[in-house]
Amino acid sequence: MEKNNFSKYRNIKSIVHSIDPITKLLGFMLIVISMFVAQEPGTLLVVFGFSFIVSLLSKVRIKSYFTSLLVVIPFFVIMFLFYLLLYSLNQTLIFVFMMSLRLYLFILLSIIYTSTTKEMDIALSIEWFITPLRVIKVPTYEISMMIMLSIRFIPLLFEDIRKIMIAQTSRGINVINGNLKARIKGISNSLLPMFVIAFKRSDDVAKAMVIRGYKIGNKRSKFRKNKFFILEWITLFTTISLLVVIILMTQGIIPGAIF
């Protein structure tokens, strides 16, 4: 069973799954903007609370969100030790707390978006946003295709790495345990088969695309048209309202600081 579920679409029924992918991406971008506009812990916690409600509405397993904390903890420790040399303890705690929370929120929103949006819909959403670049001859179709394939390959790459590490362990090669030298040797022995599998998979995808008549530069047709319904308008209204509230709290019009 695949253990790494990051960037993997989960086919379940939820409100977040039902939102149009373009509107969903725009809403998440507004949340990210609100996250960086927030300059006080209180305002940033408002963004966190909003994001947590979105995560509950997505019905994605809570375990996935707590697993992402493993990425933030080392960042928090390193930043804390570094800024403790430059500022007071109180200033360091506030600054590192906000930086770590922003990083966690970004990872959280990324997990929600990739877990509730199919790979093709992600690519089409990004293509829609970069459509104006066609005026200056930017190959938006090819860029969206590369993004879609990259997103699709991330969980497959993690699964291949897991299988290689299990195979190496069964052969007596210490990949995880042991001293630093043993770990480096074990990882280096796993790199070659990983690259071989990745290149073979890429070659298979390229051949499949050629067989299906894919040609660079041709305009792509769309099976489904994106339409705005009441859910999409509610999504835009709530995310824009969040950004407005955060701006008002930052300007001091609405009290939001708790430190």
Residue 133, pLDDT score: 80
145 Cβ neighbours under 8 A, 6+ residues apart = 123
Residue 26, pLDDT score: 92
Residue 183, pLDDT score: 65
Q: Do 111 and 6 meet the contact criterion of CB atoms below 8 Å apart?
A: yes
Residue 152, pLDDT score: 72
* CA neighbor of 233 nearest in space, from 12, 14, 13, 26: 26
Q: Three-state DSSP class for 252?
A: coil
Residue 259, pLDDT score: 42
| pTM of the predicted model as reported, rounded to 2 decimal places | 0.71
Q: Which residues of the chain have pLDDT under 50?
A: 1-5, 257-259
Residue 243, pLDDT score: 92
Residue 92, pLDDT score: 77
Q: Cα–Cα distance between 104 and 71 in angstroms, integer? A: 8
239 Cβ neighbours under 8 A, 6+ residues apart = 26, 27, 30, 31, 34
